[in-house]
Structure 1
């Protein structure tokens, strides 16, 4: 009799545990699904949880792919931190990743994003992108820590950026670099700098830049009418109108500078003979339309241009390549484009079929879906923890 009672209790307990698990799963799935409905449209689950985590300041430090899902690989690159003297008597830090294997190697100068302002981005915040780019291309990647506003106004960051390209050319032997295979790349504000550096190098017959990759670049400081600036400028998608206006006020406070090709590449009169260009944009990004407009202008000037829009993602999505499949796709496409550029003969013919933006409507993989709900469970737990903490603080008060 006692044994039967014990079995019944065990079965009843298992049923209760199972029921709690099912209810918890429904709560997690329902909550994550509710986060998908944002102010400007429905987003994929992984995008939704990351946007929610950042908006609620719940994103854990060191967010990366769980270790049991990662494939261990032998290191193929090494890191060097050094400094570069600038023409105005100052200096800036340089982070360099280079292959362990003997060169000479192609070289990429990468400009980090961050609205040109202190506290919004630096070579540390973008180290994962810089490191991954070096590993995937087996090229030397040089990332300058250009000086930031409000302490340093335009043209300091731009001059630092251009002088970095010249430094690479001058130090080619030391770096074991093949400067005939030189590319520039950057995201957001860094994309703006990369485009401006390419134009200055062409105009002044400076270092020969073979290709450029611009990730969701800012291309004009003017108050131009772009639909994306209105649709996605609240800040929920990682970049707000307020930040853009503050960036302009601190980085380029003199209005006459806003029309310069070195601050607003979109306004450049002569864009002929520019490097081959890849422009990546994001659907939910206030800078989407101006990045694509710049790509179109480059094409119309006779340049080889590839323009790709990733649907379902926000500004800065490539920086989340470790936890977002779409971010990893963007990272992979950037590396593949640069590898093809380095291996090309430069004899490709200009595509005269007309400008086209490739829109990638990628679907979430099962892994992305699973990770989205796992992250959702973590965030729900953080919400509960925060609520309990607030209750205790109120009671103590």
Structure 2
């Protein structure tokens, strides 16, 4: 059954109960094999190979609402990432939603980790603000969707308006992100340090850097949980069978966010793994899609 901390929609609850029962949970191999259409536009925001975004445009002239998609992969190049996101990007574009599919330097790439990975996310979103008019995008109607490590980065992106000027990651007037949908995310770096090590084999210093006189608490500008409340809404969706980011992770973060005054919901997908929510052919995608459409103020998808 669907477990929900918060007030998830009846539509989402019904879809979970009906949609996930018959399908086998996706494996890592299933995820790595995901395919989809090629992007319409490739845009660089830096000079390094991983500093680019892909734009998937719907048919028509827009302005189109935008789904900012940030892939996971345990912050490493080993587990794919942006290519696998083509699968859901194609589905969203078909439904009239532009997709801003973000690539970034990971911890095992030159310049990745702290602060480079975070600076890449900021640069990619700055490019969205600067390019919206040219490509018929509505930068006032956005939702950020992050999977696994990308969930941490998507939640950070929405929280970065709280960064102190003293942080190397500070930027003025960041793109407002009113809703984040975190899919198996690992956003609470301080409290989930042991899980991140066991699930992803990441040493926290790779994600946070080292303390300094100006920055004694390394979580203060890297973990969105330390910047609560951030305003807006966070939807945390975890597969019931997820061993990378178990359901407890979403529940704990939602509770912490609500106690700080934010709106947050935790949703558990029956029979789903860490990967089902990012495959457009998975029954779990119906639940995720419902929340994306709601965040963008679009009609709910009809059942097929």
Contact 1:111–1:186 (8 Å) recurs in 2: yes
Tell me if 1:199 matches 2:162: no
Tell me if 1:279 matches 2:236: yes
- Residue 334 of structure 1: CA displacement? 2.5
* Matched position secondary structure for 2:154: helix
Measured in 2, the distance between the counterparts of 1:117 and 1:199 equals: 23
Change (3 A) 1:241 1:94: same
Describe how 1:14-33 pairs up with structure 2 within 5 A: none
**Equivalent residue number for residue 100 of structure 1:** 59
Give TM-score scaled by structure 2 length: 0.74
**Equivalent residue number for residue 226 of structure 2:** 267
- Residue 162 of structure 1: CA displacement? 1.6
- Residue 122 of structure 1: CA displacement? 2.1
- Residue 130 of structure 1: CA displacement? 2.3
Contact 1:259–1:267 (8 Å) recurs in 2: no
- Residue 206 of structure 1: CA displacement? 1.9
- Counterpart of 2:94 (choices 135, 158, 163) is 135
- Residue 134 of structure 1: CA displacement? 2.8
Measured in 2, the distance between the counterparts of 1:241 and 1:159 equals: 23
Describe how 1:333-344 pairs up with structure 2 within 5 A: 333-343=287-297
Is the radius of gyration larger for structure 1 or structure 2? 1
Change (3 A) 1:125 1:84: same
Measured in 2, the distance between the counterparts of 1:78 and 1:90 equals: 21
Structure 2 unpaired stretches of 5+: 1-19, 164-171, 299-304
Root mean square deviation, CA, Å: 3.2
Structure 1 unpaired stretches of 5+: 1-42, 65-76, 230-239, 345-397
- Residue 125 of structure 1: CA displacement? 2.3
Contact 2:69–2:100 (8 Å) recurs in 1: yes
Q: How many residues align?
A: 262
Measured in 2, the distance between the counterparts of 1:335 and 1:63 equals: 17
Describe how 1:120-199 pairs up with structure 2 within 5 A: 120-136=79-95, 138-151=96-109, 152-199=112-159
* Matched position secondary structure for 1:313: coil
Contact 1:113–1:190 (8 Å) recurs in 2: yes
Which protein is richer in helix relative to its size?
A: 1
Describe how 1:376-387 pairs up with structure 2 within 5 A: none
Measured in 1, the distance between the counterparts of 2:78 and 2:193 equals: 28
**Equivalent residue number for residue 3 of structure 2:** none
Measured in 2, the distance between the counterparts of 1:63 and 1:342 equals: 25
- Counterpart of 1:290 (choices 229, 244, 249) is 249
